[in-house]
């Protein structure tokens, strides 16, 4: 009888521990292929394709599109903001939407 009680109690504790909600450790970035472009504190493009955002940011900064597109993909993947260059109006940033 003692073994049965132990098994019952162990089962109850196991079930209780599985039903406890665990908060998310970090916010997961959604990879949807869309990002934002901001110059200074003004968002000039919102929810646009990474390629379009790279083209515009590269044009504003006077740099090649390829490296900016790689930065844009990294932003979409990680959720981190990346600065492409700094202009008189402020930093040109790629931001996760």
DSSP 48-75: EEHHHHHHHHHHHHT--HHHHHHHHHHH
The pLDDT tens digits of the residues spanning 72-84 come to: 999 999 999 999 9
Name the residue range of residue 71's domain: 34-96
The pLDDT tens digits of the residues spanning 44-64 come to: 999 999 999 999 999 999 999
Residue 5 lies in a domain: no
Residue 85 lies in a domain: yes
pTM above 0.85, yes or no: no
Q: How many residues are there in the chain?
A: 97
Residue 3 lies in a domain: no
| Helix 65-78 and helix 50-61, axial crossing angle in degrees, nearest 10 | 130
Q: Which one, of 37, 43, 39, 40, lies nearest residue 55 by Cα?
A: 37
d(CA 56, CA 38): 10
């Amino acid at each position: 009888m003692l073994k049965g009680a132990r098994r019952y109690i162990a089962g109850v504790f196991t079930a209780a521990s599985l039903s406890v909600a665990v908060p998310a450790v970090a916010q997961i970035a959604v990879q949807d292929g869309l990002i934002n472009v901001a110059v200074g504190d003004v968002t000039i493009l919102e929810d646009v394709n990474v390629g379009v955002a790279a083209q515009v940011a590269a044009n504003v900064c006077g740099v090649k599109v390829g490296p900016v597109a790689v930065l844009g993909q990294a932003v979409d993947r990680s959720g981190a903001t990346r600065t492409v260059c700094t202009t008189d109006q402020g930093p040109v940033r790629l931001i996760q939407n």
